[in-house]
Structure 1
Amino acid sequence: MTEPARWSLRRIVNVSVAAVALFSLAAIVVGGFALTNLSDVRKRVVDRIDPALLQSLRLEAALVDQETGVRGYVLGAQTDLLRPFIGGVEAQQDAVGQLEDLVTDLPAAQTNLRQVTERMELWRTTYAEPTIAAVEATGRPADSTIRLGQAAFDRVRAALNRVQDNLVDARESAVASLGTSETTLNVVCVVIAAGFVLIVLALAFVLRTTALRPVSRLAEEVRTVAGGDFEHEVERSGPREIRELGADVNRMRERILHELAALREAHAVLDARTQDLERSNQELEQFAYVASHDLQEPLRKVASFCQLLERRYAGQLDERADQYIGFAVDGAKRMQVLINDLLAFSRVGRIVREPTVVSCDAVLEQATANLATAIEQTGASVTSDDLPEVNAEVPLLTTVFQNLIGNALKFHGDAPPQVHVGVRPVEDGFWEFSIADNGIGIDPEYAERIFVIFQRLHNKADYPGTGIGLAMCRKIIEYHGGTIWLDTSVESGSRFCFTLPVLADPEPPEDPKTPEEEDTDG
């Protein structure tokens, strides 16, 4: 037979459940038998013997009534005195009928009851009825016969006493059996309770020894490995599932050791490549900044001389020459704007300033002030909720608000632009800002494309711009730990949303006043 410690956990549980089920079934059978026996004895006493005793008393009363009625008639010779005799006969018949049904399991009582009936019938035929007939015939008392009738009735009473003795004996025996059954039931209940306690203790011991202790040991071993000691081999013991789990942990540990060895071998190469990559990124950022900055001077010179040509020779050359000069001036200006935007884009995250607690209301006010001319020209309305304070670099956050509101002013429809800046708290400790407008809107299929640098959805002749603004907004928001997206659920206009972290430790309000102080101030 396999050792219990090597059983599977399922087998241990099944055997435990089977043991509890078998004991429960045995307890139900034994307890049910004892309870049934107790119920049977109780029913015998309550439903048969006690009613039989009651009927025997009724029978005794009926017999006494008959004897009393005859005695009174013999002494008084009055017909009314026979009423107890007549009623006693009827009561006797009823009591005997019920007694016969109740003493079917008492042979001695049945025999004595038949003797009572027979002797009573003999008393009536040999004494009561002849005496009554004689008194009726003479009309005079016949007290001389009373002694004869008394002797016959004593024999009836003796038989009835034997019936009652039989019933009393049967009741005492039944009561004794009832006590025995009750004691047996109590013993059975105690044995069942003790058995359940022993089974529970045994099962607890078996489960603790064969399942819980190996699981706890395995957990300690696994925690040792999880703590970083990958050289520690997990001991395998207990049920089959736990042993297999220990083997799996060992295989995982060995695989981790192998991978760690491979990682250590590649670590040196990776460090060198990381340093090269960081150096390349720094050189690339520096090149982008220097290239953008150094392009400004020759571009300004080109733009200046093109503008001089436009002013000095306007109208002196043919119309096509004027058009070419205009193209050159416009191209130079757009190139300046593009270089400036590229320069600003390259600076995001490269020039690190210490974030400060800034009021978004103040940032929004600065952004709208920068856009005052566009707001006035378009007749726009810019509203906002009460905006919170956040940790941010003020120039960068101002750029976000200015770009998003500027796009709302640029891409407006026939009606004057209406821009609303909203905010609400969301889960995970973030504020969600939203900038909604009533403009021409953006097709949901372009929700990601618009955040890619240089991506435009409209012709630059219709809507000027470099295609860098939204890409810069995404870079700034992600630099501050948030995200930005286009809300594609709006049906008209457009709605941009972005998140910023809530202040970690907001400062409490200064000098809070009690209600009494406020009332005093009022």
Structure 2
Amino acid sequence: MRRAGRLRVGQRFAVVATVLGLVLAGGVVAGTQASVALSRARDRLVLRIDPAMTTALRLQNAYLDQETGVRGFVLAGDDRFLAPYLRGRADERRAVAQLDRLISGDGVLQRAAGSLRTAVALGATWRTGFARPAIRARRTKVRTDDVNVGAGRVRFDRVRRGTAALQRELNLARMHATSTLNHSARRLNIVLGIVSGLLLLGGVLAVLVIRRTITVPIDALAGEVRRVADGDFGRALEATGPLDIVTLAGDVDSMRARIVQELEASQAVRQDLERSNAELEQFAYVASHDLQEPLRKVASFTQMLQRKYEGQLDEKADQYIFFAVDGAKRMQELINDLLAFSRVGRLTREHQSVPLRSVIDRALTDLTGAIEESGAEVTVAGDLPTVRVDPGLLALVFQNLVGNAIKFHGEGSPHVRIDVGEAEGEPGVCAVAISDDGIGIDTEYADRIFVIFQRLHPKERYGGTGIGLAMCRKIVEYHGGRIWLDTDHAADPARPGTTFRLTLPIDVPDPTEAS
């Protein structure tokens, strides 16, 4: 029974991503607002209030310079004592202009702007009411007693109080800006902490949701699939969770059902094949016993007839007897080769780990007679590995290939070369090349030569049953390798002869066995 959620996996991911995105967007908005407030408070403090406080101090010093210059001039009557006054006036104008630029237009500094206007007005009153009249009077009068210094001191005390009030207002504004800055910083940290916490919580919840609604159903489905893969093909797959996981389970279950049907059909075919193999084995038994026994009698009696009456009958009779003997021998050879071909891969023997050199030497030993008779020269080159094979069957491959190279030689003594090396691009596989300088094979017959009973030459010229190369292919493929005709060699007119190539798996020792 399958229970499917209404949402697919992608839709569930979209929901989780949307929630996390909304949390992140809200955090970005709140964080941006807090950051803007923090930046505004920092700019007011650093770019306005602190420079304004420094400038207000210069303004106060400018008034002090003016008062000092006027007092010195009144006492001494020397124009040189007016230099601080004149310098103070210039500093006052610059300071007032800078303070106007820093303070104006900011609501927090509105009180400070009022204090600045008051201080400037008090300074102007002091100059018009005392400083300028005192300077004029001292220029026209010789005695200092004629100047009302006390009234000037009273007026200048008001200027001092005005600049002090400006300093107080700026200090208050600085305290307020510092408090706002700290508050904005705390707010930004709180927003970042909340957003980070929400994102962490959302991530944990997303993991839990994904695990519950996706990972757990997939793991359960994977377990069901593994049980089916382990051989429980009759087990129907069950799944819960998102719609697409349940749909996938249904598709896999449909595939399982089809595999079961195919398996049942293949089992029926296998039973038929087993019956055919049993019949083939029965045929092999009949061919090896019931057929060969009368064939041996025919061959034996025709040979006796040939030995006893050869030359006593006419020439036609001797020729007929020769044909009968030759046909019986060929029939025996054909039956033996067919039996050997049918046994490859069917009557299996345990493979052995043997050096490839020993397999080749075994094949060459069986060909000793043909090698000596033809004067053939066989060389083996390369790094010969150890292979895990049926030595007897693999020796038949080399025996057939080297035997064919000797049989189909050219005018001189045949030269056969066996080269062994690693297969390019196939680790753990060795490549073998058997080359000769014989009559060669056309490339158009590259596939035909491996078909059973296919011959390229009449049997009167070259003996054989046409089974050898087909048996070689069957043996090599039985060992997990490949065999083919080197068409590049066959197509090159400058290179006489033939090259067959084959691959064999190398026997790699198991390190656990060595330990």
TM-score scaled by length of structure 1: 0.79
Letter in 1 for 2:286: F
Which of 186, 190, 202 is equivalent to 1:187?
Answer: 190
Cα distance in 1 between the residues matched to 2:192 and 2:97: 42
Which of 359, 363, 369 is equivalent to 2:359?
Answer: 363
Structure 2 CA distance for partners of 1:44 and 1:73, relative to 1, 3 Å: same
Cα distance in 2 between the residues matched to 1:252 and 1:399: 44
Pair 1:446 & 2:445 matched: yes
Residue of structure 1 equivalent to 2:336: 343
Which of 108, 111, 122 is equivalent to 2:111?
Answer: 108
For the 8 Å contact 1:65–1:84, the answer to whether it is kept is: yes
For the 8 Å contact 1:378–1:409, the answer to whether it is kept is: no
Residue of structure 2 equivalent to 1:72: 72
How big is the shift at 1:48? 0.7
Structure 2 CA distance for partners of 1:232 and 1:279, relative to 1, 3 Å: closer
Q: Secondary structure at the match of 1:455?
A: coil
Query: Which stretches in structure 2 are left out of the alignment for 5+ residues?
Result: none
How big is the shift at 1:410? 3.8
For the 8 Å contact 1:74–1:142, the answer to whether it is kept is: no
Cα distance in 2 between the residues matched to 1:419 and 1:122: 125
Deviating more after overlay: 288-297 vs 381-390: 288-297
Deviating more after overlay: 8-17 vs 486-495: 486-495
Letter in 2 for 1:495: T
Q: Secondary structure at the match of 1:95?
A: helix
Cα distance in 1 between the residues matched to 2:364 and 2:228: 59
Residue of structure 2 equivalent to 1:384: 381
Q: Secondary structure at the match of 2:241?
A: coil
How big is the shift at 1:378? 5.6
Deviating more after overlay: 84-93 vs 372-381: 372-381
Letter in 2 for 1:417: H
Cα distance in 2 between the residues matched to 1:59 and 1:140: 31
Structure 2 CA distance for partners of 1:208 and 1:504, relative to 1, 3 Å: closer
For the 8 Å contact 1:299–1:336, the answer to whether it is kept is: yes
Mapping of 1:146-161 within 5 angstroms?
146-161=149-164
For the 8 Å contact 1:74–1:143, the answer to whether it is kept is: no
Deviating more after overlay: 422-431 vs 284-293: 422-431
Residue of structure 2 equivalent to 1:474: 473
Mapping of 1:240-251 within 5 angstroms?
240-248=243-251
Q: Secondary structure at the match of 2:55?
A: helix
For the 8 Å contact 2:52–2:103, the answer to whether it is kept is: yes
Residue of structure 2 equivalent to 1:498: 502
Letter in 2 for 1:76: A
For the 8 Å contact 2:380–2:417, the answer to whether it is kept is: yes
Greater relative contact order (Cα < 8 A, sep 6+): 2
Cα distance in 2 between the residues matched to 1:423 and 1:361: 13
Structure 2 CA distance for partners of 1:235 and 1:282, relative to 1, 3 Å: closer
Structure 2 CA distance for partners of 1:169 and 1:441, relative to 1, 3 Å: farther
Letter in 2 for 1:436: S
Residue of structure 1 equivalent to 2:31: 31
For the 8 Å contact 1:342–1:468, the answer to whether it is kept is: no
Structure 2 CA distance for partners of 1:500 and 1:288, relative to 1, 3 Å: farther
Letter in 2 for 1:171: R
Cα distance in 2 between the residues matched to 1:472 and 1:212: 54
- C-alpha root-mean-square deviation of aligned residues, in Å? 4.2
- Cα deviation, 1:322-357, whole Å, max 9, x if unaligned, reads 9x9789858955873574254144134477666555
Letter in 1 for 2:382: D
For the 8 Å contact 2:337–2:467, the answer to whether it is kept is: no
Cα distance in 1 between the residues matched to 2:212 and 2:430: 54
Deviating more after overlay: 246-255 vs 11-20: 246-255
Structure 2 CA distance for partners of 1:374 and 1:112, relative to 1, 3 Å: same
For the 8 Å contact 2:418–2:432, the answer to whether it is kept is: no
Cα distance in 2 between the residues matched to 1:17 and 1:507: 50
Cα distance in 2 between the residues matched to 1:198 and 1:384: 71
- Cα deviation, 1:99-148, whole Å, max 9, x if unaligned, reads 10000123332233223333323333443334334444567767844333
Letter in 1 for 2:115: N
Cα distance in 1 between the residues matched to 2:172 and 2:35: 24
Cα distance in 2 between the residues matched to 1:479 and 1:444: 25
Q: Secondary structure at the match of 1:498?
A: strand
Letter in 1 for 2:381: S
Q: Secondary structure at the match of 2:422?
A: strand
Structure 2 CA distance for partners of 1:327 and 1:70, relative to 1, 3 Å: farther
Q: Secondary structure at the match of 2:456?
A: coil
Cα distance in 1 between the residues matched to 2:42 and 2:29: 20
Percent of pairs identical after alignment? 36
Deviating more after overlay: 300-309 vs 103-112: 300-309
Cα distance in 2 between the residues matched to 1:129 and 1:434: 123
Cα distance in 2 between the residues matched to 1:383 and 1:305: 47
Letter in 2 for 1:167: L
Q: Secondary structure at the match of 1:172?
A: helix
For the 8 Å contact 1:454–1:466, the answer to whether it is kept is: yes
Letter in 2 for 1:422: V
**How many positions carry a matched residue from both structures?**
497
Query: Which stretches in structure 1 are left out of the alignment for 5+ residues?
Result: 511-522
Cα distance in 2 between the residues matched to 1:62 and 1:136: 23
Deviating more after overlay: 38-47 vs 285-294: 285-294
Letter in 1 for 2:384: L
Residue of structure 2 equivalent to 1:62: 62
Q: Secondary structure at the match of 1:496?
A: strand
Structure 2 CA distance for partners of 1:277 and 1:131, relative to 1, 3 Å: same
Cα distance in 2 between the residues matched to 1:475 and 1:390: 17
Cα distance in 2 between the residues matched to 1:198 and 1:28: 17
How big is the shift at 1:405? 1.7
Structure 2 CA distance for partners of 1:360 and 1:328, relative to 1, 3 Å: farther
Mapping of 1:5-404 within 5 angstroms?
5-104=5-104, 105=106, 106-137=109-140, 144-222=147-225, 235=238, 237-248=240-251, 276-290=275-289, 291-292=291-292, 294-296=294-296, 298-299=298-299, 302=302, 333=326, 336=329, 339-340=332-333, 342-347=335-340, 348-349=343-344, 356-372=352-368, 375=371, 377=374, 380-404=377-401
For the 8 Å contact 2:225–2:237, the answer to whether it is kept is: yes
Cα distance in 1 between the residues matched to 2:350 and 2:229: 38
Q: Secondary structure at the match of 1:497?
A: strand
Pair 1:457 & 2:456 matched: yes
Q: Secondary structure at the match of 1:6?
A: coil
Q: Secondary structure at the match of 1:421?
A: strand
How big is the shift at 1:219? 4.4
Structure 2 CA distance for partners of 1:84 and 1:436, relative to 1, 3 Å: farther
How big is the shift at 1:41? 0.7
- Cα deviation, 1:41-72, whole Å, max 9, x if unaligned, reads 11111111111111111111122112212222
Cα distance in 1 between the residues matched to 2:261 and 2:479: 39
For the 8 Å contact 2:382–2:420, the answer to whether it is kept is: yes
For the 8 Å contact 1:433–1:497, the answer to whether it is kept is: yes
Cα distance in 1 between the residues matched to 2:359 and 2:228: 52
How big is the shift at 1:154? 1.8
Structure 2 CA distance for partners of 1:408 and 1:235, relative to 1, 3 Å: closer
Cα distance in 2 between the residues matched to 1:468 and 1:256: 38
How big is the shift at 1:222? 4.9
Structure 2 CA distance for partners of 1:46 and 1:326, relative to 1, 3 Å: farther
Cα distance in 2 between the residues matched to 1:52 and 1:294: 132
Letter in 2 for 1:193: S
For the 8 Å contact 2:351–2:389, the answer to whether it is kept is: yes
Deviating more after overlay: 57-66 vs 147-156: 147-156
Cα distance in 1 between the residues matched to 2:4 and 2:124: 81
